Amino acid sequence: MAKVEIRPSHRMDCIKEYYFSKKNREIAELRKQGRDIISLGIGSPDMPPHQRVIDRLASEAQRPDVHAYQPYNGSDLLREAYAAWYEKWYNVKLNPKTEILPLLGSKEGIMHICMAFLDAGDKVLVPNPGYPTYRAAVTLAGGEVLEYHLNESTDFYPDFEAIEKQDLSKVKLMFVNYPNMPTGTLPTVALFEKLVAFAQKHNILLVHDNPYSFVRNNMQLSLLSIPGAWDVAIEMNSTSKGHSMAGWRVGVVVGRSEWIADILRFKSNMDSGMFFPVQAAAAEALALGNEWFDELNATYYAREAEGYALLDALGCEYRKNQAGLFVWAKIPATFEGDCFAFSDKVLEECDVFVTPGGIFGSEGEHYIRISLCMPKERLAEAAERVKSRFTK
Ligand SMILES: Cc1ncc(COP(=O)(O)O)c(C=O)c1O
């Protein structure tokens, strides 16, 4: 029988399969061949959430009345938990009825926001280096990416003067992310104030993506705590990193009710709510206190020390005081900015995978990123392998 000829949409021409989707398959293949690969790629916490969170999921799932579709805008319980959490940690007051929209992870929120606000030809300021999903979502939604560069010359903060040299008349959104992934750079009040002033001046909606504020960082900062920010910004957050719940898919977008309603208008046509026991368990996670974050960060700091030893063995340079789940490091000059060749060589010789910084944009080409989502013993083993096998 003849097979029908179906071509993927033109929309798909502008995106490739997600880097880690492909790379993880390659790594699985190497493991099948018997190689013990230590993958320091993706930032997926390897530790479980708090036991109370798991117990709550299990007990709620026993109820007979929680298995139906859930409200499109999330349960009252979860929205109220987010409101209390934002007030406690960020000193930001949110109306749980209208200013909070739970998401199935912030990754989907990025797409929903682009679909809700972009028309064909609208431009979006996207960080280079930055989370690859920003670029993909903007392009899929018909928008155009206008990069802004983050590099050593401005300590990985946006260079507003350079940005303003471009034509910004068609720019509608700007993605911002501090603590920054992949560079680990911390947010500052001064940065957020500049962003708010910039957005006001150019009539741009800031989309702040804030999933790393609790990891290797003790000064939680929300863009919405800055005077004037409510007029120009929305913010996403996530339980994936700080609560070790990446696979649960619980995130949130918060901000002015009109914008939240716009995003809900799109999202409610895409999914049918989140399993109630997951929402109840996420509310439990959001109620955790300092002890949870102290313990989590003690683990990550111990891993960071081993990560530094690995990077030293690789001859990489890095700044200390980076936040989030990763360390961003510059590869030796002898590799002439070929982070892909560097990463391949480390994998080939040492069975250790480090992410080439170039996947985050051209500014990442001289860099690699290592994930700390790995027990410290394995990070130490990676360092030992590099010391004994890596030919610089
Ligand atoms: C900067 C950034 N934003 C968003 C996400 C997605 O997080 P979530 O699990 O909430 O979809 C990630 C995950 O790696 C990230 O690094």
Any domain includes 364: yes
Per-residue CA distances from 363 to 33, 188, 191, 218, 256 (Å): 34, 22, 20, 28, 33
Instruction: Out of 266, 286, 306, pick the residue that ends a domain.
Output: 286
CB atoms within 10 A of CB 366: 22
- In this structure, the answer to whether residues 149 and 183 fall within a common structural domain is yes
- In this structure, the answer to whether residues 41 and 61 fall within a common structural domain is no
Q: Note the pLDDT tens digit of each residue in 164-196.
A: 999 999 999 999 999 999 999 999 999 999 999
C-alpha span between 255 and 238 (Å, rounded):
15
- In this structure, the answer to whether residues 227 and 350 fall within a common structural domain is no
User: Could you tell me the residue range of the domain that residue 163 belongs to?
Assistant: 51-286
At which residue do the structure tokens 């029988």 appear?
1
- In this structure, the answer to whether residues 91 and 153 fall within a common structural domain is yes
Does the structure show a pLDDT above 80 at 70? yes
Kindly state the average pLDDT of the residues 55-72: 98
- In this structure, the answer to whether residues 265 and 371 fall within a common structural domain is no
Buried b (16+ CB within 10 A) or exposed e, 200-221: eebebbbbbbbbbbbbbbeebb
Any domain includes 122: yes
As for how many domains the chain has, the answer is 2
Any domain includes 3: no
Q: What is the pLDDT of residue 346?
A: 97
- In this structure, the answer to whether residues 23 and 84 fall within a common structural domain is no
Q: Note the pLDDT tens digit of each residue in 100-146.
A: 999 999 999 999 999 999 999 999 999 999 999 999 999 999 999 99
- In this structure, the answer to whether residues 43 and 60 fall within a common structural domain is no
C-alpha span between 326 and 118 (Å, rounded):
31
Buried b (16+ CB within 10 A) or exposed e, 49-86: bbeebeebbeebeeeeebeeebbbbbbeebbbbbbebb
Which of 241, 248, 372 has the most ligand 1 atoms within 8 A of CB, as the residue to mutate?
241
Does the structure show a pLDDT above 90 at 22? no
Which residues contact ligand 1 via a Cβ below 6 A?
A: 43, 105-107, 131, 177, 181, 209, 211, 238, 240, 246, 251
Per-residue CA distances from 237 to 75, 144, 232, 366 (Å): 17, 24, 17, 29
Query: Ligand 1 centre from 24 Cα, in Å?
Result: 17
Q: Note the pLDDT tens digit of each residue in 231-280.
A: 999 999 999 999 999 999 999 999 999 999 999 999 999 999 999 999 99
Atom of ligand 1 at shortest range from CA of 177: 1
Q: Is 19 exposed, middle or buried (0-12, 13-18, 19+ CB in 10 A)?
A: middle
Does the structure show a pLDDT above 80 at 282? yes
H-only helix segments in the chain: 19-32, 51-61, 76-85, 106-117, 132-140, 160-164, 189-202, 257-267, 276-286, 290-314, 339-350, 376-389
Atom of ligand 1 at shortest range from CA of 43: 14
- In this structure, the answer to whether residues 255 and 128 fall within a common structural domain is yes
- Please count the residues of the chain: 392
C-alpha span between 372 and 327 (Å, rounded):
8
Of 121, 120, 111, 119, nearest to 207 by C-alpha is: 111
Binning pLDDT at 50, 70 and 90, where does residue 291 land? very high
- CATH code, domain carrying 225: 3.40.640.10
Binning pLDDT at 50, 70 and 90, where does residue 369 land? very high
C-alpha span between 157 and 178 (Å, rounded):
9
Any domain includes 4: no
Does the structure show a pLDDT above 80 at 392? no
Any domain includes 249: yes
Query: Ligand 1 centre from 388 Cα, in Å?
Result: 34
- CATH code, domain carrying 346: 3.90.1150.10
Atom of ligand 1 at shortest range from CA of 131: 1
Instruction: Out of 245, 266, 286, pick the residue that ends a domain.
Output: 286
Q: What is the pLDDT of residue 2?
A: 87
Nearest CA, atom 5, ligand 1: 107
- In this structure, the answer to whether residues 161 and 271 fall within a common structural domain is yes
- In this structure, the answer to whether residues 219 and 143 fall within a common structural domain is yes
Q: What is the pLDDT of residue 158?
A: 98
Whole-structure pTM value? 0.96
Query: Ligand 1 centre from 53 Cα, in Å?
Result: 21
Q: Note the pLDDT tens digit of each residue in 316-355.
A: 999 999 999 999 999 999 999 899 999 999 999 999 999 9
Tell me the average pLDDT of the chain. Answer: 97
Any domain includes 86: yes
Per-residue HEC secondary structure of 112-150 comes to HHHHHHCCCCCEEEEEECCCHHHHHHHHHCCCEEEEEEC
Report the DSSP beta bridge partners of residue 150. none
C-alpha span between 192 and 170 (Å, rounded):
22
- In this structure, the answer to whether residues 266 and 348 fall within a common structural domain is no
